[in-house]
Structure 1
Amino acid sequence: MRMVQAITSLGAYTAGQWGLVTAAQAKGAGVDSVTLLRLVDAGLLVRVRHGVYQLAVSEESAHLAEKAAWLALRPAVAGWVRPKLDPDGGVVSHRSAALLQGLGDLVSERIEITVPRRRATRDSEVKLRGRPLDEDEVTRVDGLPVTTVERTVIDLLNDRVDASHMGQIIHEANRRDRLDLDVLAEKVGCFSRRYGVTGRDGHALIEHLLSAVQDGRARAR
C-alpha cells in the first residue's frame, strides 16, 4: 500500500482519537505492519507507546500518554464507540485522574487505570487497578473516561496519600465547585483513623486534611 493511501485510511481513526491510532486499528484499516513502519521511518507517524502511534501533523493534545495507554487496553476498537464503563477497557483513575482533572500536584511514575476485572499488562508504565465502577463514578475529560473527583478522592484516601496532598486536592475541588464536602464526608469516615482522626467522622477528617494544607502554607511563610 502506498504511504499516501495508508495515511488516508488511518485518518478515520486519527481524526477521532486525538491524532492516535493503534497497530490493531491500522491492520483493520488495511495498513499492514510493513507500511506502518515505513510511515514511522518517513516521519509521518510517531510511536507514542508500544502499538500506538500519533499522526505527526496532528494538533497537540494534552495527556497523550494517558490517552494512548487507554487505547492500548482495547486496541482494535475505536475510542469513540467505547462506553464510559467498557467491560473490556478501563477508566483513568487515582493519581492519573487527579492529574487530568488539574487537581493537586501529585506525581505518579505510572499511568493508573481502573479496570472492571483483574487483568495484567506488560507495560511497565501502566498500573491496572481491578475494581468495578458505577456509572455515576465516571466522567469524561477531553473524551477520556476518568473517575469523578469524588471517586478519585476516595481512591487516593484508600491509597493513604499524605494529608497535605489530599487537603490540597479537596481544597481545589471545593473551590471550583467540583466537590460537595457534605456528600464526601458521608463516604470517607472509614478512612479517619488512617489519618489520626478518632472515630469515623468524615467531616472531622476533611477538616483535618484541609488544616494540613493551611499548616503547610504557614510553615512556607
Structure 2
Amino acid sequence: MGFAVRPVLREFNCLKSVLKLYFPSMSIVVEPILQELAAGQWGLFTTAQAQARGVSRANLSHRERDGRLERLAHGVYRLGGVPVAPLDDLRAAWMSTEPALLSWERVSSPRVVVGGAAAAAVHECGGINPVPYHLITNERRQTQRTDIAYSRRQLDSRDVVVVAGLPVTSIERTVAHLVDKIGDLSLVGDVLADATRGKRAVDLEHLGLLLTPFAARYGHPRGDGPALLEQLRRSAGIDDVAAARELMQRPAIGSALTEIVNREVEEQLKIIVAGPEPQQPGSVEMREQIERMSTPALPELSRLVSEIADTVLAPVLQRQREQRHLIANTTLARSGDGTRDAAN
C-alpha cells in the first residue's frame, strides 16, 4: 500500500509546484519577502537569502521571465523597477561571495573587502577600469568568474572603511595597492588628486609608510616611501599650497586654524601693547597708536588664513610676529623722537 501511495504524492507535489508557478496568487507571500530583502540591500537580494525564507528557485525564475526580477550575477537579483545604480554590479559581485548573509550583517567585521580599482570607484576617485573587481579576504579563495579576482591579505582596521554601504580599503591603502598593481603613476596620481580635492582627509604620512615596499621599484632608495609619495604627488599635480587650500575649504578645519591664528595674534598684540611701562610719558597714546596700526592688518590675516593650511601655518605666524615687532619698534622710536623734541 505504501509503495502505491508514493507515486501519487510525487505527482501531487509536482502539480502543486506547477500551480504555484503559473498562478502567482497562490504564492502572494513571496512579494513581501523579496521586497523586505531588497529594501536594505540597494534593491538587491541573493537566491540563498530568498530560499532561507521559503522562496524557491522556481518562484525566482518565474519572476525573472516576466520581468519582475533581473539577474545581475549568478545567484543575485534586482527587483524590477528599482533604479539602476553605478555600483550595482560591484555590489552584486560582493554579495555573491557570502550569499546567505545580509549585506548589513557583513560590514561591521567584513571577511571580504573591496580593494584596488574597484575601491577607487567606490571612493569616486580616478578613472581606472574596476573590472575584474578586486576582493581582499583573510583566507584563500578561488573562483572561475572573470569579473572577480581574489587576493589574500590581513588588513589593519584603519585600512578598511565603509563607503556607500560597502566595506572598501581606505584611500591610502587603495592608492598603495594601485601603485603596486597598476604601475602607471599618472593613473594612480589621478586617484590621489581626486581624493585630495574631495571632502575626506588623506593621511599622507600613513600613505608614505604604505608606499615603503615599492620605493626601490620606482628608482628611489629602498624603503623611502615619502620619496615615492612625492613623485606620485608631482605626477598628480599636487603641491603643498594647493593641498592646503583644498584642506581649508573644509569648514571645521578652516574655522579651527582661523581661531588658532587669531589667538596667536591677540597674544602678540598684548605683548606689544604691554611692552612700554605705563609710567612713561605718552605710553597711553602709544598703545592706542599701536592698536590703530595693527587693526587694519587683521582682515588681511583672515584672508591669508582662508588660503593656507597647517603645512604653511608656522611661516605665516612667524611673519605676523615680525610685523608686530616692527610696528612696536617703529612706534617706540617715533615716540622717543617726539619726547626729545618736546624737551628741547
Fold equivalence (TM over 0.5): yes
| Residue 175 (structure 1) shift | 3.0
Q: Which has the larger radius of gyration?
A: 2
Give the CA deviation at 1:13. Answer: 0.9
The alignment status of 1:191 with 2:218, answered yes or no, reads no
Unaligned runs of 5+ in 2: 1-19, 238-344
Q: Which residue of 2 aligns with 1:218?
A: none
**Residue number in structure 2 paired with 1:158:** 180
Check conservation: 2:118, 2:131, Cα contact below 8 A: no
Within 5 A, what are the aligned runs for 1:133-148?
133-148=155-170
Equivalent residue for 1:58?
82
Structure 1: runs of 5 or more not aligned? 215-221
Give yes or no for the alignment of 1:131 onto 2:153: yes
**Contact 2:72–2:78 (Cα < 8 Å) also in 1:** yes
Cα deviation code 1:108-160 (max 9, x no counterpart): 33111111111112322111111122222111111111111011112112224
Could you tell me which amino acid in structure 1 is paired with residue 47 of structure 2? A
Distance (whole Å) between structure 2 residues aligned to residue 82 and residue 108 of structure 1 = 22
* Structure ranking higher in helix proportion: 2
Offset of residue 103 of structure 1 = 1.0
* TM-score normalised according to structure 1 size: 0.88
In the alignment, which of 122, 132, 135 is matched to residue 110 of structure 1? 132
Q: For the structure 1 residues 160 and 19, does the alpha-carbon distance in structure 2 shift closer, same or farther, using more than 3 Å as the test?
A: closer
The 4+ residue runs of structure 1 with deviation greater than 6 A are: none
Q: CA deviation at 1:40?
A: 0.4
* 1:172 matched to 2:190: no
User: Are 1:16 and 2:40 counterparts?
Assistant: yes
Secondary structure of 1:54 counterpart: strand
> Which letter does structure 2 place at the counterpart of 1:208?
Q
1:181 corresponds to which of 192, 199, 204: 204
Give the TM-score of the pair, scaled to structure 2: 0.58
Structure with bigger strand share is: 1
1:209 partner SS? helix
**Which residue in the other structure is 2:50 paired with?**
26
CA distance in 1, matches of 2:108, 2:94: 12
1:208 to 231, 244, 250: 231
The answer as to whether partners of 2:110 and 2:167 remain within 8 angstroms in 1 is no
1:21-100 equivalences under 5 Å are 21-87=45-111, 90-100=112-122
CA RMSD of aligned residues (A): 1.7
